[in-house]
Amino acid sequence: MILRIVVDLIQLYIVVLFVRIILTWFPTDPWSGMGRFERALGRFTDPVLAPIRRVVPPLRVGGGAIDLSPLVVLVGLEILVSVLARR
């Protein structure tokens, strides 16, 4: 029962992280409602992403960079969910 709740919470976090990733593709006014929503998602996801960002450098592409930390976290969480779901 508790294991199922943990798996569900991890899956909810994955959805939140995915929404944040998608929102970063589109510029928003930081003072709009969407900007506040994006900052709230950042406060929720950054504590997990920040340690990964310190270890995994951004991928330099052309004149910009791609942050790989969300991908690393998503893969790690999916592995964790698959391991916990087997129990």
What is the predicted pLDDT for the residue at 17?
96
With cut-offs at 50, 70 and 90, classify the pLDDT of residue 63.
confident
What is the predicted pLDDT for the residue at 64?
85
Whole-structure pTM value:
0.87
Q: Which long-range contacts (CB under 8 A, 24 or more apart) does 66-70 make?
A: 70/17, 70/20, 70/21, 70/45
Backbone torsions φ then ψ of 65, nearest 5 degrees = -145, 150
With cut-offs at 50, 70 and 90, classify the pLDDT of residue 87.
confident
For the segment 13-62, what is each residue's pLDDT rounded down to a tens digit? Answer: 999 999 999 998 998 898 999 999 999 999 999 999 999 999 999 999 88
